[in-house]
Amino acid sequence: MEDYRIHEHPILSIPTRKKIHFCWKNQQFEALENETISAALIAIGVKVFGHHHKDGSPQGIFCANGQCSQCMVIANGKPLKSCMEKIKEGMDIHPADGLIELPKITSIAALNPIREIDIPVLIIGGGPAGLSAAIELGKLGVEVILVDDKDRLGGKLVFQTHRFFGSTEAVYAGTRGIDIATRLEKDVLQYASVKIWHNSPALAVFSDKKIGISIDGSEYVLVTPQVLLVAAGAREKFLNFKGNTLPGVYGAGAFQTLVNRDLVKPAQKLFIVGGGNVGLIAGYHALQADIGVVGLVEALPECGGYKVHKDKLVRVGVPIYTSHTILSANGDGQVESITIAQVDKNFKPVVGTEKSFACDSVLIAVGLDPVNEFYSKGIQYGIPTFIAGDAEEIAEASAAIFTGKIRGREIAISLGHDTLDIPPAWIRTSEVLKSKPGHISHEGEPEYHEGVMPIIHCNQEIPCNPCSSLCPHGLIFIDSKDIRHIPTFLGDGYCCEACQQCIIGCPGLAITLVDYRKDALNPTISIPYEFSREPIKAKDTITAMDTEGKSFGEFEILSIISHPSNDHTSVVEISAPREIAAKIAGLRVQEKIISEPLDGYIPHIEDDTIVCRCERVMAGEIRELIRAGYRDFNEIKTVTRASMGSCGGKTCTAIIKRIFREERISDADVTDQTKRPLFMEIPLGLFAGIQNEEE
């Protein structure tokens, strides 16, 4: 049996865990203690978790966040979301095929009263914004309950292995996301007034100003806060294309969860859709996990993410197709290939430009939507409600940290801490950290070709300043009043002592050193490197690349340096002719063959695409109703059951609204749907106060 676990990683440590045993379809396999059912199944190569009752289509993990039921399995006779449940010794697991038969009732359990709790502040979400707000309130001794639906605090930070951008003074810039999560968690736990409820999702905000919460899946409570802070983050947008529900199509967050948290490989060859920071970063994470990245498509003429993130991909050998879109994911029961095409100025596919590529997984990273339902309900029902982080505005985690800090201070003021204020510098910093990528400058040649010269390949205005604080002599300058400016080296070739701290600490891995001292005609180039796949060593040859992914040919590795302070970033030294030395920005990791297109392309059918994953409703069905005069979303739900499935319309609503717009129906002419009261599915017994789930 093939093993799909990650046994070696350049950044993450691989913990030693006890092996346990489980059965999948009556065959025994090994799992690791304390991992999810989904991780254990993917580790043995399972991608199909069941089949839909409507049309028998295969179902596979999609969100890895408990929001849908695509990964439902039958474990010890009970239907469970495999991404949210830990596997247990001896567990008997089967696919969830068709409609699930409900267990027979043998007795009526006694109902227990629901516990109610009053608290000054309730924070929904234990990511960077929620934690930062809780820390500010904890400093003042304000009583807080912070609820999060995971077993570890940090939100998306817990599987971000790259160093973060932003300000070193304000938001831990230059530190890896996984380490920022640990820092924030450690900080918040020192305050006795802040209570943390792990594995405890908020379920609903009610008109009597109470919030329903499931505590660790064992108790349902009602919390009445004086103030509510919503820091629930964001959810990924879905995309309408043929084959979009095939097992092997993942949201970016699900993919990163499986790879960087669960340490399993959900793919061998991955194709990415979306060139924002999320898609670009996920591609780099895939490469670090020894997963091939076949390519990336972006419908816009340029990627919307930071250029340094894009550059990291192209210079290791990943082709990026801008002004292209996905037409279809293809395969019999799971993803086997992808078909893409160029788009015109109206984003319509250009006939004759189709290409297909072999791959076993497609990662969708086409943007995020704020999880702001709790905020809307809080305002509607008259609860003093604040909002922070991605729930308020989609931005980088560094911005979420700082806006959370500001909201914490604002909440304290609203509770009567009148001596506090919000420093104007905080507001300014918050706005800078939320900045979108700015102007791109031409990458020029260094002024000096002697001594040692740091070459800064970061040429886009983004909020980031770690490099300026890493140089022991202060020779890299970024204006402290506006850290979005491009860094500048202030010295000549004889000022730099080649300590390499700027190389290993740059979040974008966008600095190299060119050392002319030993050989001015063939200087030594020092290049950052963060991969463990096919380990390299001195005397090996490796392909040198420029910022845009152009190859300069093969060069011998002179040495590989690991600094005590490197935090898993190595420095590879090669020698190259003076004419190209300053242009070398990275090293190819992935060979070209993995990105070659197939000989022919696989056609697609537009209307035969799924818009509602849960209820298997096709685009053509929705379009037909719109053309028949339907303008009320609730009527469409009644006819098709679209948005009535497990996720509660979180995935399909935006796509259906887009179909209305494609049919030239304005948003103002569409009656929106009635929202489901509860945020997510929960066992009915929990509301009844039944403690024993077997009753």
What CATH number does the domain containing 175 carry? 3.50.50.60
Q: What is the pLDDT of residue 656?
A: 86
Residue 315 in domain: yes
Q: Tell whether 587 is covered by a domain.
A: yes
Looking up tokens 């309950």 gives: 145
Pairing type for strands 337-342 and 324-330 reads antiparallel
Domain boundary (594, 627, 648) is at 594
The DSSP H or E segment spanning 178 is helix 177-189
Rg (C-alpha) for the chain, rounded Å, is: 26
Sign for the CA dihedral angle at 533, 539, 543, 547 comes to: positive
Other CB atoms within 10 Å distance of the CB of residue 111: 11
Residues 65 and 177 in one domain: no
The string over 362-383, giving b where at least 16 C-beta atoms fall within 10 Å of a residue's C-beta and e elsewhere, is bbbbbbbbbbbbbbebbbeeeb
Residue 139 lies in a domain: yes
Q: Please check whether residues 672 and 581 belong to one and the same domain.
A: no
Cα 520 to Cα 535, 560, 575, distances in angstroms: 30, 21, 11
243 exposed, middle or buried (CB, 10 Å; 0-12, 13-18, 19+)? buried
Distances (CA, A) of 217 to 149, 201, 220, 554, 613: 10, 9, 8, 56, 26
The four Cα atoms 622, 624, 629, 635 give a dihedral, to 10 degrees, of -40
CATH number of the domain encompassing residue 676: 1.10.10
Read out DSSP for 13-61?
Answer: ------EEEEEETTEEEEEETT-BHHHHHHHTT----EE-TTT--EE--
Whether residue 271 sits in one domain with residue 179? no
Domain boundary among 337, 364, 391: 364
Phi, psi of 466 (to 5 degrees): -55, -35
602 within domain boundaries: no
Q: Domain range spanning residue 306?
A: 19-100+238-364
Decide if 151 is inside a domain.
Answer: yes
Chain centroid offset of residue 81 CA: 20
Question: Cβ contacts of residue 628 below 8 Å, gap of 6+?
Answer: none
For residue 446, tell me if it sits in a domain: no
Residues 120 and 26 in one domain: no
Indicate whether 186 and 312 sit together in one domain. Answer: no
State whether 381 and 280 are in the same domain. Answer: no
Same domain, yes or no: 152 and 256: no
- Among residues 154, 100, 165, which one has the least CA distance to residue 127? 154
Report residue 578: phi and psi, to 5°. -55, -35
Instruction: Single out the residue in 571, 594, 617 at which a domain terminates.
Output: 594
* Residue 481: inside a domain: yes
Q: For the chain (length 695 residues), average pLDDT per consecutive 10?
A: 88 93 96 95 95 91 85 92 93 92 76 92 97 97 96 92 92 94 96 97 96 93 98 90 93 93 95 96 96 96 95 95 95 94 93 94 94 95 97 92 96 92 92 92 80 93 93 90 91 87 94 94 96 84 94 95 85 96 94 87 66 86 89 88 83 83 86 78 74 46
Which pLDDT belongs to residue 100? 79
Residue 604 has a pLDDT of 52
Q: Are residues 573 and 497 in the same domain?
A: yes
Domain shared by 415 and 503, yes or no = no
Same structural domain, 571 and 500: yes
For residue 470, the surrounding DSSP H or E stretch is: helix 466-470
In a domain, 439, yes or no: no
SS3 state at 251: strand
The tally of domains found in the chain comes to 4
Please name the helix (run of DSSP H) or strand (run of DSSP E) that holds residue 197, with its range, or none.
Answer: strand 194-197
pLDDT of residue 694: 45
State whether 579 and 509 are in the same domain: yes
The pair of structure tokens assigned to 464 is 């980031």
Q: Does residue 266 sit in the same domain as residue 353?
A: yes
DSSP state of 259: I
Is this model's pTM higher than 0.85 or not?
yes
- Minimal CA–CA distance to 262: which of 41, 575, 22? 41
In this prediction, residue 221 carries a pLDDT of 96
